[in-house]
Copies of this chain bind each other. A is one copy, B any other.
Amino acid sequence: MSAISEHVVNPFADISTNIETNDFFSIDDEGDAWSDAHANFLSSLSESETQDLLKCSRRMDLKSRDHLFRAGDRSNDVYIVAGGCIRLFQVSSTGKETILWFSFPGEIFGMAELWRGSNRQIYAVANEATQVYSIRRKDFTNFLGAHPEAAMKAISILSARVRALGHALVGLASDNVETRVARLLVRLAAVSSGTRCCAGYTEGELCVNVRLTHQDIANLIGASRQTVSSTLAHLRKIGAVRTVSHHFHIVQPDHLRRLLQLSAA
């Protein structure tokens, strides 16, 4: 009991200590921020935490293109992706769509709007057939209060999102379209590599296992569809990527990464 109570008093102590003693520091913060922000919240929970959370959740099945919520809806829930993929985007006044995030299985989303309780400003639609757990705000905040490690995890995911968005902003302000496309593919390959690629996979390739139209890519990096098309054609021509049944394979990851280093020089 005393151990538990102390834990509650400082849920952050362990993590903080871990960091202090960790001597390894990665160079690629942008990639790290992406990966961290895409962290699998669900699987980071313990068995009992998962049960606690899911018992107050409601499972929903979405068909491809179903809307989970729209701008203007009240933000009453957070969601966890069970399977599939959710596209989170905003529509500017000119009708232009900007994709802010893709949420993959295990990821939590809808968190950032919870605390102010304002209306949703973004849209969430299923990018393919998708299952999500929906958790009411109150249940979720109760859960976080009762499970400090989970709260800690939530904070670190939000932090990673902040850093990832910061990088996105810098990239949009200073990189050209080809660089942005290439970087996106590398990042997506990193986070989607968990789900195994079924089709013709060649050793050494990286699989970007997300179904993306050129329009999606354009909306992700703030470019026009046509420019993305021709950029991809170019990347294909120089042998950096190839198309395998509806998705991309990065033929030589190092090739593409070197291209990114180069554009950075």
Chain A: residues with Cβ within 8 Å of the partner, total of 73
A45 at the interface (CB under 8 A from B): no
A15 within 8 A of B: yes
Asked whether B118 lies within 8 Å of A170 as measured between CB atoms, the reply is no
Given A93-B265, A98-B173, A166-B90, A159-B114 contact (CB < 8 Å): yes
Given A25-B119, A118-B32, the answer on whether A137 and B13 have CB atoms closer than 8 Å is no
Q: How far is the CB of A224 from chain B (nearest CB, A)?
A: 11
A166 touches B165 (CB 8 A): yes
A116 at the interface (CB under 8 A from B): yes
Chain A, range 33-55, C-beta contacts under 8 Å to B: 33, 36
When distances are taken between beta carbons in the complex, the residues of chain B under 8 Å from A145 are: 9-13, 148
- Contact bitstring A10-38, B, C-beta under 8 A = 1, else 0: 11110111011010011001101100100
Given A19-B137, A166-B122; A158-B155 close (CB under 8 Å): yes
Q: Mark A91-120, 1 if CB is under 8 A from B, else 0.
A: 011101010100000000001111111110
Asked whether, in the complex, the Cβ of A159 is within 8 Å of the Cβ of B93, the reply is no
Question: Can you name 10 A-B residue pairings with CB atoms under 8 Å?
Answer: A10-B146, A16-B141, A22-B117, A33-B116, A36-B116, A92-B264, A115-B152, A121-B163, A145-B148, A155-B155
3 closest A-B pairs (Cβ-Cβ)? A10-B145, A173-B222, A93-B264
* Chain A contacts to B: CB under 8 angstroms: 5, 8-13, 15-17, 19-20, 22, 25-26, 29-30, 32-33, 36, 74, 90, 92-94, 96, 98, 100, 111-119, 121-122, 137-138, 141-142, 144-146, 148, 151-152, 154-156, 158-163, 165-175, 222, 263-265
